[in-house]
C-alpha cells in the first residue's frame, strides 16, 4: 500500500511564483496547495492539515509573522518556513524566536525549497517519534491495566485471568469473542502474570499465510527443503521455547495443517519441513478465535480433537455492547492514553459525546472504540471532545445478534445527521466532514430520512 504523500501549504500573493513552487514540490512528491492570503491559509489549515507551511512575510491582510503566530496556536508541531524579498537579520531572528522552522530569501531557489521541505518534514517526524517513545517509556502500564471493566461480565473475566495465571503451569487456553474484544491483550496478560513471564511470547496470525508457508513458519525447515531454503531455519514453536505461543484466529487454519498442529501440542515435538527427526519443545499454548469452533467442528471445518485439545480452559470475552458503562470507562482510558501519546491536553468528553458513545452499538468492539478516541484526540484543539470529534455514524444493520434494534439505530442516525446539518448551517460538505462521511453518503442518508437538504 502506497503511503500518503506529505502535504505543503504555500501562502503567497505572487501567483506565478506560488504556482511554480506547487509544480516543483509536486514533482518532488508533495501534495501542495496555494493560499493567496493569510485568511485563506487559516481556512485551508482546518481541512488540509499540512505537514509543512511556506509563507511570505508580506501578505494582504494578515502578515506572514502574524500567520506564523496563528499557526503556532493551531498546532505548534507544524513547521513554518518564512519567505521574504526584504530579508534582514532582524526579521530572521524575529521569525525564529516566534517558532519558525527556517527562513529563506526571495527570489526562491527551488532546490533549496525542496531541501527545506524535506528537512522540515523529517524533523517533525523525528520529534513525533521521540515524543511517543519517551511517553511510552514513562507510562508503562501495569499488566492488568489493559483489561478494564467494571461490568459483571468483565469482572468475571479478570477474576478468571488471575486464577489461570496463578497455576504453576498454564494448560492450553482458548480465548473466544468477536473481533476487537481484546483477545490478544488477554493472552499477553496471561503470559505477563504467569510463571513464564521472563520467557518468550510468540504471536502467530493464523490468517496471514497459506498452509504450506504456515507450516514452515510454525515448525521451521531444513536447508534444501524447497527452492529458496538456502539455510536451515527454526520455526516459531522452537523460538517460543520455555514460553508461550499464541495462535491468533486459530479457526482460520486450513484442515491440512490442523493435524500437524495437534501432534505438536500433544507430543510436544516438532519436525521441520524437510527434516527427518523430531525436536522436543517446551511451549505453552494460547489460542484465540472469533468463530464458533463447536459449530465448525459439526460442519467438519475444524478438527474436533484439536478443538478439545486447545480448549482445556475456555475463556469468553463479551462484546462491548453488552458491557454497559464500561464504554465510558474505556473511552476515558483511551482519552488519557492518546492525549499523552500525542502531547495533547484533552481531558474530558462533553455530555453529548458521552451519550453518543453509550448509544452506539460498537460492531468493532474495544478496538473500534480505541481508534475512534485516538482519531478524536488527534483532531481536537481544546480540552474537551465533542460529537463532532467522534465522527460516528450508526451502521446500516446490527453487527451481530444482540445488537441494538434497527429502529433505534435509525432514529439515532437521523438525529446525528440533523444535528450535523444544523451545526453546519445547512452546508452538506461541512456536515459530511463533521460526520466523517463522504458528501455522496450524506446525500443518500438525507434522502433516506426525508431530511431537507441545505447548500
Quickly list DSSP for 130-175. HHHHHHHHHTPPPTTTTS---SHHHHHHHHHHHHHHTSSSPPPEEE
In terms of domains, do 180 and 313 share one?
A: yes
Q: Taking a C-beta distance cutoff of 8 angstroms, is the pair 301, 318 a contact?
A: no
Question: Domain end: 318, 341, 365, which one?
Answer: 318
pLDDT, residue 432, reads: 76
Within 8 A by CB and 6+ apart from 163, the residues are: none
Q: What angle do CA 307, 313, 316 make, to 5 degrees?
A: 90
Residue carrying C-alpha cell 435509525:
410
Question: Domain end: 137, 170, 189, which one?
Answer: 137
In terms of domains, do 42 and 95 share one?
A: yes
Domain membership of residue 142 (yes or no) is no
In terms of domains, do 28 and 114 share one?
A: yes
CB neighbour class for 241 (10 Å; exposed up to 12, middle 13-18, buried from 19): middle
In terms of domains, do 166 and 299 share one?
A: yes
Domain membership of residue 455 (yes or no) is no
Q: How far apart are CA 37 and CA 63, in angstroms?
A: 8
In terms of domains, do 266 and 334 share one?
A: no
In terms of domains, do 354 and 439 share one?
A: yes
Residue carrying C-alpha cell 484442515:
255
Q: How far apart are CA 115 and CA 28, in angstroms?
A: 10
In terms of domains, do 193 and 289 share one?
A: yes
Domain membership of residue 332 (yes or no) is yes
User: Which value, to the nearest 10 degrees, does the dihedral of the CA atoms of residues 115, 119, 122, 126 take?
Assistant: 170
Domain membership of residue 145 (yes or no) is no
Domain membership of residue 1 (yes or no) is no
Q: Taking a C-beta distance cutoff of 8 angstroms, is the pair 117, 52 a contact?
A: yes
Can you give the CATH number for the domain in which 330 is found?
1.10.8.60
Range of the domain at 70: 7-137
In terms of domains, do 133 and 68 share one?
A: yes
pLDDT, residue 392, reads: 78
In terms of domains, do 308 and 192 share one?
A: yes
Residue-by-residue pLDDT tens, the chain, 455 positions: 334 568 899 999 999 999 999 999 999 889 899 999 999 999 888 667 788 999 988 888 888 889 999 898 887 888 999 988 766 556 667 777 888 998 888 888 888 999 999 999 888 877 766 654 553 444 344 445 568 888 999 999 988 998 898 887 899 999 999 999 999 999 999 998 888 888 899 999 998 778 778 999 999 988 888 877 888 888 899 999 889 999 999 999 999 899 999 999 999 999 999 988 888 889 999 999 999 999 999 999 999 999 999 999 999 999 999 999 999 999 999 999 999 888 888 889 998 889 889 989 999 999 999 999 998 998 888 889 888 888 775 444 444 444 444 444 456 667 778 877 887 888 888 887 776 666 766 777 787 778 876 54
Total residue length of the chain: 455
In terms of domains, do 156 and 303 share one?
A: yes
Can you give the CATH number for the domain in which 268 is found?
3.40.50.300
Residue 2 C-alpha cell reads as 502506497
CB neighbour class for 105 (10 Å; exposed up to 12, middle 13-18, buried from 19): middle
pLDDT, residue 393, reads: 59
Question: pTM of this prediction?
Answer: 0.56
In terms of domains, do 333 and 303 share one?
A: no
pLDDT, residue 227, reads: 79
Q: What are phi and psi of 273, to 5 degrees?
A: -60, 125
Q: Taking a C-beta distance cutoff of 8 angstroms, is the pair 394, 413 a contact?
A: yes
Domain membership of residue 147 (yes or no) is no
pLDDT, residue 47, reads: 65
Residue carrying C-alpha cell 520455555:
242
Q: Taking a C-beta distance cutoff of 8 angstroms, is the pair 445, 435 a contact?
A: no
Within 8 A by CB and 6+ apart from 226, the residues are: 216, 273, 274
pLDDT, residue 1, reads: 34
Q: How far apart are CA 367 and CA 362, in angstroms?
A: 9
Q: What is the DSSP letter of 303?
A: -
Q: Taking a C-beta distance cutoff of 8 angstroms, is the pair 390, 376 a contact?
A: yes
In terms of domains, do 169 and 290 share one?
A: yes
Question: Domain end: 318, 353, 379, which one?
Answer: 318
Interstrand relation of 269-270 and 279-280 (parallel, antiparallel or unpaired): antiparallel
Q: How far apart are CA 32 and CA 380, in angstroms?
A: 24
Q: How far apart are CA 258 and CA 397, in angstroms?
A: 34
Split into its structural domains, the chain has a count of: 3
Domain membership of residue 73 (yes or no) is yes
Amino acid at each position: 500500500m502506497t503511503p500518503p504523500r506529505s502535504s505543503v501549504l504555500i501562502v503567497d500573493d505572487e501567483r506565478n511564483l506560488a504556482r511554480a513552487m506547487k509544480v516543483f514540490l509536486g514533482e518532488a512528491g508533495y501534495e501542495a496547495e496555494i493560499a493567496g492570503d493569510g485568511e485563506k491559509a487559516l481556512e485551508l489549515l482546518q481541512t488540509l492539515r499540512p505537514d509543512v507551511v511556506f509563507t511570505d512575510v508580506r501578505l494582504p491582510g494578515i502578515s506572514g509573522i502574524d500567520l506564523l503566530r496563528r499557526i503556532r496556536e493551531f498546532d505548534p508541531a507544524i513547521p513554518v518556513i518564512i519567505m521574504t524579498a526584504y530579508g534582514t537579520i532582524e526579521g530572521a531572528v524575529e521569525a525564529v524566536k516566534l517558532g519558525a522552522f527556517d527562513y529563506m530569501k526571495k527570489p526562491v531557489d527551488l532546490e533549496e525549497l525542496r531541501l527545506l521541505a524535506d528537512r522540515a518534514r523529517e524533523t517533525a517526524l523525528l520529534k513525533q517519534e521521540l515524543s511517543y517513545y519517551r511517553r511510552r517509556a514513562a507510562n508503562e502500564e501495569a499488566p492488568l491495566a489493559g483489561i478494564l471493566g467494571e461490568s459483571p461480565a468483565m469482572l468475571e473475566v479478570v477474576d478468571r485471568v488471575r486464577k489461570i495465571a496463578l497455576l504453576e503451569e498454564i494448560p492450553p487456553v482458548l480465548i473466544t469473542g468477536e473481533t476487537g474484544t481484546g483477545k490478544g491483550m488477554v493472552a499477553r496478560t496471561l503470559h505477563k502474570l504467569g510463571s513464564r513471564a521472563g520467557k518468550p511470547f510468540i504471536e502467530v496470525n493464523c490468517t496471514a499465510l497459506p498452509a504450506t508457508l504456515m507450516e514452515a513458519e510454525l515448525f521451521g525447515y531444513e536447508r534444501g527443503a524447497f527452492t529458496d531454503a538456502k539455510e536451515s531455519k527454526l520455526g516459531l514453536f522452537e523460538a517460543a521455547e520455555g514460553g508461550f505461543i499464541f495462535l491468533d484466529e486459530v479457526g482460520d487454519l486450513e484442515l491440512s495443517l490442523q493435524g500437524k498442529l495437534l501432534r505438536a501440542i500433544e507430543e510436544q515435538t516438532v519436525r521441520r519441513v524437510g527434516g527427518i527427526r523430531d525436536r522436543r519443545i517446551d511451549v505453552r499454548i494460547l489460542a484465540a478465535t472469533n468463530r464458533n469452533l463447536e459449530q465448525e467442528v459439526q460442519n467438519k471445518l475444524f478438527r474436533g480433537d484439536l478443538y478439545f485439545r486447545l480448549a482445556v480452559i475456555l475463556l469468553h470475552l463479551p462484546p462491548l455492547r453488552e458491557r454497559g458503562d464500561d464504554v465510558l470507562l474505556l473511552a476515558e482510558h483511551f482519552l488519557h492514553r492518546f492525549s499523552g501519546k500525542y502531547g495533547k491536553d484533552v481531558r474530558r468528553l462533553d455530555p453529548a459525546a458521552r451519550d453518543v458513545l453509550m448509544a452506539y452499538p460498537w460492531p468493532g468492539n474495544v478496538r473500534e472504540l480505541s481508534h475512534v478516541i485516538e482519531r478524536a484526540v488527534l483532531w481536537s484543539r481544546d480540552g474537551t471532545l465533542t460529537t463532532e470529534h467522534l465522527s460516528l455514524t450508526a451502521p446500516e444493520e446490527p453487527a451481530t445478534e444482540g445488537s441494538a434494534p434497527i429502529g433505534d439505530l435509525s432514529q439515532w442516525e437521523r438525529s446525528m445527521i440533523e444535528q450535523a446539518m444544523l451545526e453546519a448551517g445547512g452546508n452538506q460538505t461541512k456536515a459530511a466532514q463533521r460526520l466523517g462521511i463522504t458528501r455522496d453518503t450524506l446525500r443518500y442518508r438525507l434522502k433516506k430520512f426525508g431530511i431537507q437538504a441545505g447548500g
